[in-house]
Amino acid sequence: MISERDVSVHPPATAGFHIVGYLLNWGFFGALCVQVFLYYWAFPKDKLFLKLIVYGLFALDIIQTALITSDAFLKFGTHFGNVTIFASLKNLWLSVFVINAITGAIVQLFFAYRISVLSKSRILGALVALLAVAGCAAGIASGVQAKISKLNNLAAIAYSTRAEVSAWLSTSAACDIVITTSMVIILSQNRGTGLNPETDDAVKKIIWLTVETGGL
């Protein structure tokens, strides 16, 4: 069994990975703020449940960014110069494991609903929903396992939660593949009629967007 002493820490490399991650998180958060503002401005008449999904995900991202920023201040401010702090768990069990699992599941469940409506197949929608819930459960289990493991070393934690993390990532990936494939097939069946070229072009763009965002 791996222990905390089995992991060596290289300060420059470890600190570099952390700071890049924090900067990328804030960059993506800025892009998300712009997207939420555009949604608020362009779709004021959307259904209430759609607004709850958008603003709920935004709220979760704010919480996640606050937790990650707290970790960043702790490592590069309060404990500056303490090399071992870079291997500690801190808020990662919640910000990375739990919140990512929940937000991912919410998006996937929304697509499950859309697929069910567009394909008129409850079985296909239920399959996507089942994968989404299973992935979310595994992700939350990973975070809980990391928190209760009483380890304060990321490598040791990664080893102790490898089964839960593998189940989480593989299930979520399978769900994304099913969503992307289903959306492409459904949308492809609704274009190429030739009756309205503008509509066909719009659907084609949506297909490409689905592949680019969902597939990747």
Angle at 111 between CA 106 and CA 116, to 5 degrees: 125
pLDDT of residue 213: 65
pLDDT of residue 196: 59
- DSSP string covering 62-113: HHHHHHHHHHHHIIIIITTT-GGGGG--TTHIIIIIIHHHHHHHHHHHHHHH
pLDDT of residue 1: 47
Q: In the structure encoding, which two tokens stand for residue 201, read together?
A: 């072009």
Could you state, in order of their start, the residue ranges of all structural domains in the chain? 9-88, 104-216
167 near 193, Cβ under 8 Å? no
pLDDT of residue 81: 74
205 three-class SS? helix
pLDDT of residue 2: 46
State CA 8 to chain mean position distance.
29
**What's the pLDDT tens digit per position in 75-109?**
888 888 777 787 787 888 999 899 999 999 999 99
82 near 9, Cβ under 8 Å? no
φ, ψ dihedrals at 153, nearest 5°: -140, 120
Kindly list the distances between the CA atom of residue 140 and the CA atoms of 3, 108, 126, 131, 167, in Å, as whole numbers in the listed order.
Answer: 23, 16, 21, 14, 11
pTM exceeds 0.75 for this model: yes
pLDDT of residue 15: 78
Q: What is the mean pLDDT of each run of 10 residues along the chain (216 residues)?
A: 49 74 93 94 92 95 95 87 78 92 94 89 92 96 88 78 92 92 81 60 69 62
**What's the pLDDT tens digit per position in 41-67?**
999 999 999 999 999 999 999 999 999
